[in-house]
Structure 1
């Protein structure tokens, strides 16, 4: 928040023309800050700009109207609409049950509901497919019950089910937070006028939470159109699959389709920003404690529904992965067959995952910090433009970022030495996930008391010294939260890691992918459990423990 200048001034107050403007956030930012922010925007715009340039100069735009381009586009939009709609219904229903009703064990359900975020979508898809194959735990349990299970998850249905189960928390979290903050007076008035709970939900609660539902659903839509691993395993070809398949032998088509995917993603981001602004204007202040609706005879069906969702989205993948991993481990202990994986491989992949994620998180926070200062302390058009470019980087699918950087390093004359290097991989991560640290960094900058900064300035401390002695110690918790979000996303990123990582650099997601493609399910299960365990710890500390609706 921007403080106003005091009405009276003492002899020790700084000149009004300097600090008063600074406090009000109306002064012109230092040229060093503006220049840094513009440089950050240019770097974040590089992958998307290169895709646009290659698509426009490659002479392949006419391919966009061909059937081979329109069919994967239609499948992508079809899947994204279905997943967004089902995730909106599922996430909103779970949020209402766990926040606004007397559901038994609802505090436990509040903790469990966001946890499917710990699974990368391709790991969840692999777990479902391996569980249903002969030798999988679901297939064997059905056989023991005398059921000849012939179910195979693939195509549109399989991709829809998997992505819905692992993306509904993106709707659940904002809707649950919104429902927890709604005043109960409107619902109480409706109840006094004779409306039943379902009618109250439809006429009062749903309109109040509509902006949160829409924002979460648009985020799910964006996640779905950029997904690579789950749709590949479910054999449902979307734009990401077509781009990946054409990246080497038909680059013109690949970049034309990448431009199509980029335009679709940016359109979704623009819609999300519009919804967010409308939701901010409609934000209502919380009143008394939220109204608790008695479920009555619907308690058992509601409990069964929550159990089914959590069982499918959280428990079933873990059981399937543990079944394959433990089966392989016991098989090796009995001397029947050795695992094609030793603990050194697991430790090496884990260490690579952790250290590259930490480096990316630190770099991302450092890069977006000038943007956060510009947004928090200076009102102006420049801050909004730079922030928009950074957010657009998050909208660009990781596959598109990776392909653009690969071919840019191949064709940029002074930068050939960067081909297949670690800096390019970290840069791809930062462009794709840096936006996740902007908001927390902005809040952290705004939390620094202006008086402390003014006092340090009067004592002669320069900008760098004030940053390290005054600002950073206060901003550290907020910056750490943003860094953690970037770290969590980085360790689960598949396409950028597959395409951009240096030769021989093996992270957990790459090892999991390669082992599953080679049908080494036991090895895949062990590696996936390690990744899920690390993701679960980060998700607990960054999402569940900090969620407003758990208060």
Structure 2
């Protein structure tokens, strides 16, 4: 018993810390790694530089007056509370869903994998409207309950509604990254834990979960940053955060300096979050340390837990996907029956898909050298470059767009109102999505495989292109798909930076919902979801069949 207890403690400690990657001094990064990463970092400095210059227009006294206002501190507290709540809730539902759809004999698990990821394609402003229309006062649910004497449902506006809506439409960030990690996680340590007599549940919490830490942190970081920068949900549900306050300042005040100061505070808040995350991340490696080929983990039989697991999946997918689509279909049918004209959408759909594909390719290409630098060549420079890469995602879309409008109009007129400047804005804004997933994939690639390739005479560039990138391809593809989906529904930068006459599905949806033409907004919203479902299908449904074996249930 003593020996078994010691082995169990050692196993848990090993799973929590991982093995330090590399024992000696690390080589310097090659030029094709650090040069592109440095260029990406310089490009990311443009929006913060604009905010700093604009914030100091009125002097330090005016700057401090805005920062120290009671309303500003209240907005800061609300933003932090909402981000923390949404992140915790998203992780709590996404990790079990990922495990159920990868490791268990859940019925139709591939279907649940696709359905569980699809809420990511629903724009937040559409999700907020759907939530109000379905669950708000005088909404569809209350209307159906009036016959039973229910006159008013609990208030959904404010913090509860904003937290619920953002959780439902952001948990796929964690779900996709954790699911990708689970599919590539070698089961050797889990099997060793079971051989030592550790139960399935304790093995999951002491071995599996610690090895999923990079993926969980990467997804949670995306949820946090998305929540801080979201405007649609907090605006519709009347919860005053940084993004809503900045938008109000930009639209209502002639002097945009206060809005720039609030945007700079949001960037500082993001930098603080990234600093804390970096300090707690550790330097552990999460790849397989023993020799031999990695194997696919066995399938866990749920047994009596099958029906509760199905209920959990159905309830989550119903709230995050079935209800929004049902509400949109309701408004579409209602509009058609009322004689609402449906304008052609194919050109807008083609524009959306084209610019989203460009953004996904460009962002994935920019994320790869940054991720390689951060994972394989750790140091102060790589840490600074990686942390800087996350700042663009926390910038409010309107602040990012206006900074690039200023840059294009004054310093790059040849790029102003072109598709390339719009794609550049997408790269700045969504680089963390590709970077987090790519980093998680690289952490699971054994450095010894790359060293073996170099020992066979391959140069660093051939090793990166022929060995590292293919092995990390699940994470790279997941990051590219996240960028594609987010670009499809992005709005502020698209409105301000798109070429004249260039219209996307998101612009169609917004123009209709902003004028309360909900029936007119339903068709482009449904088409947007349909187009965005394709990359999600390719990521979640195409799994290898072989190598599976039944394991013991919990």
Q: TM-score, normalised by structure 1?
A: 0.75
Structure 1 residues 284 and 273 mapped into 2: Cα distance closer, same or farther (>3 Å)? farther
CA contact (8 A) 1:390 1:434 kept: yes
The structural deviation recorded for 1:239 is 0.3
Paired residue for 1:260? 265
1:141-180 CA deviation, whole Å, 9 max, x = no partner? Answer: 5457775564563211111111111122222334445556
Rounded Cα–Cα distance in structure 1 between residues aligned with 2:450 and 2:122: 33
Question: Any idea what SS the aligned residue of 2:339 has?
Answer: coil
The structural deviation recorded for 1:324 is 1.1
**May I ask how many residue pairs the two structures share in their alignment?**
504
Paired residue for 1:233? 236
1:432-478 CA deviation, whole Å, 9 max, x = no partner? Answer: 1245556759979x999978x98999xxxxx9xx9xx999x999x89
Which blocks of at least 5 consecutive residues in structure 2 are unaligned?
Answer: 1-24, 549-554
Q: Does 1:427 align with 2:424?
A: yes
Paired residue for 1:185? 191
Structure 1 residues 228 and 374 mapped into 2: Cα distance closer, same or farther (>3 Å)? same
CA contact (8 A) 2:417 2:500 kept: yes
Question: Any idea what SS the aligned residue of 2:329 has?
Answer: helix
Paired residue for 2:86? 83
Paired residue for 2:164? 161
Paired residue for 1:496? 493
Question: Any idea what SS the aligned residue of 2:156 has?
Answer: coil
Larger displacement relative to structure 2 (373-382 or 519-528): 373-382
Question: Any idea what SS the aligned residue of 2:285 has?
Answer: helix
Rounded Cα–Cα distance in structure 2 between residues aligned with 1:311 and 1:48: 40
Question: Any idea what SS the aligned residue of 1:289 has?
Answer: coil
The structural deviation recorded for 1:403 is 3.2
1:2-29 CA deviation, whole Å, 9 max, x = no partner? Answer: xxxxxxxxxxxxxxxxxxxxxx994774
Question: Any idea what SS the aligned residue of 1:113 has?
Answer: helix
Q: Does 1:351 align with 2:331?
A: no
Which blocks of at least 5 consecutive residues in structure 1 are unaligned?
Answer: 1-23, 458-462
Paired residue for 1:19? none
Rounded Cα–Cα distance in structure 2 between residues aligned with 1:209 and 1:549: 23
Which of 53, 60, 70 aligns to 2:73? It is 70
Structure 1 residues 198 and 38 mapped into 2: Cα distance closer, same or farther (>3 Å)? closer
Structure 1 residues 419 and 72 mapped into 2: Cα distance closer, same or farther (>3 Å)? farther
Rounded Cα–Cα distance in structure 1 between residues aligned with 2:423 and 2:105: 47
The structural deviation recorded for 1:378 is 8.1
Q: Does 1:306 align with 2:313?
A: yes
Which of 56, 60, 63 aligns to 1:61? It is 63
CA contact (8 A) 1:322 1:525 kept: yes
The structural deviation recorded for 1:508 is 1.2
- Mapping of residues 64-213 of structure 1, within 5 Å: 64-132=67-135, 138=141, 141-142=144-145, 148=151, 150=153, 153-178=156-181, 181=185, 182=187, 183-185=189-191, 188=194, 192=197, 206-210=209-213, 212-213=215-216
Paired residue for 1:52? 52
Structure 1 residues 364 and 185 mapped into 2: Cα distance closer, same or farther (>3 Å)? closer
Rounded Cα–Cα distance in structure 2 between residues aligned with 1:117 and 1:212: 17
- Mapping of residues 312-461 of structure 1, within 5 Å: 312-329=319-336, 331=337, 336-339=338-341, 341-343=342-344, 346-364=345-363, 385-409=384-408, 412=410, 414-415=411-412, 420-437=417-434
Q: TM-score, normalised by structure 2?
A: 0.75
- Report the aligned-residue RMSD: 4.5
Rounded Cα–Cα distance in structure 1 between residues aligned with 2:274 and 2:380: 19
1:200-244 CA deviation, whole Å, 9 max, x = no partner? Answer: 655565555455444433321121111111111212121001111
